[in-house]
Structure 1
Amino acid sequence: MGTPRPSGHGSGDGPSVPAATVAALQDCAEHGAARLTDTHYAILFDVEVTGDGQVDKARVRESMIGDREIVSCMEDALHGMSLPGVVTPLRSSGTVYGGGGSVSPEGRTPLGHPAAAAAVVAVNLVPIVLVAAGVTIVVAVTVHVAEEAAEAIRRWPKKVEEKCQPPFQECLENPWQPKRNRETYGNYKDCGGCLAECRNKDGIWPEERCPRHWQY
């Protein structure tokens, strides 16, 4: 297996593994590095995410590490991590899964057992370089968004707009802040800002900043 070219965690080359997960992977390396006999290793993982960016499957694709304890520890570290930074741009791009988005051949391969949903898009995270006890381990992670999750994301804009538009229109029709809010937010509601916040929060209208008429 060829060693992935590390670009460094958090280098801005693409989505990154969360810092807490990197720390957990580092712990895996530190607890097992003394058992390894070489100085350089690489391991490639495939993970599958749900529509909200949560990893619910993590599997080894290729590995130079023969130590099952280290590999299992790393699988556990990746399982359950949150990757909203992967899903959110796909939601807002308007080119989700077959509409012009980037789809890799690996992304069309079922992950894990045959019952797993077929993934339809794949995103490579920035490789992680772990160093422990004189051993360097490069961890590469490819995120797969499964068909079910993709369909949920396809439905997201319409569903969210249906929730956000009514209070937005009401805000435009009644733009004055109630007296209790004026010291904090000024005399007028920021209807456009409240609409943006509603969209970013999956349809939850910011009632405090832009209260509805029955909340006066």
Structure 2
Amino acid sequence: MWQILRKDLRIEWRTGEILSSMLLLSILITLVFAFTLEPSRLRGPEFLGGLLWATLLFSGTLALNRSFLLEREAGAWTALALCPIDRGSIYLGKLLANLVVLLLGAAVLLPLMVLLLGTRDLQPNLLLPASLILGLIGFAAIGTLFSAMASGTRAREVLMPLLTFPLLAPLLIAAARTTTAGLTGEPLEAVQSWLLLLGAFDLVFAVAGWLFFDYVLED
């Protein structure tokens, strides 16, 4: 698991291909929001959480879609399948690497969105990092599994969103709600049930990915 994590992060550190593509798309989407929505709405922090997660959905899917592309192109997919290690650990290593990229992207994107959209009256609290971390764990768990499934198909750019978006709907709703609470200074009690939903979502799909990755790798 740790070898996979180090390998992916080292490659991304050298090339910056996935993170740069994610950030470029995020900036373009943010500019679309800035030019098409009413400025009075954009200045309120209550809209920023939803806009942030809508942007992360598209840019993050682009990033996750390339998770196993290098192994496919380099002919290393068979080598992964033949490794004498638990295949679930390969999934966990990929998940952690994807999570690091998504967290870095979100950390850069949030202040950029505040700047480009002119958002005011922010009152951030600890719910903000908690909601981002929990939301992105679930996003990475689903995205990593389905990226592996779609990587061997010619239509992976189309197949990946079709597979992931329906499953991500409850996560995005909960993440947007808790992120908004973290931006507006709401107390924990106001969104405790949403945080529990995020935690349960993360646990279920991370375990499911770990269990089913063995069958995905065989295909």
Which has more strand, going by share of residues?
Answer: 1
TM (normalized to structure 1)?
0.26
Structure number with greater Rg is: 1
TM (normalized to structure 2)?
0.26
- The higher-RCO structure (CA 8 Å, 6+ apart) is 2
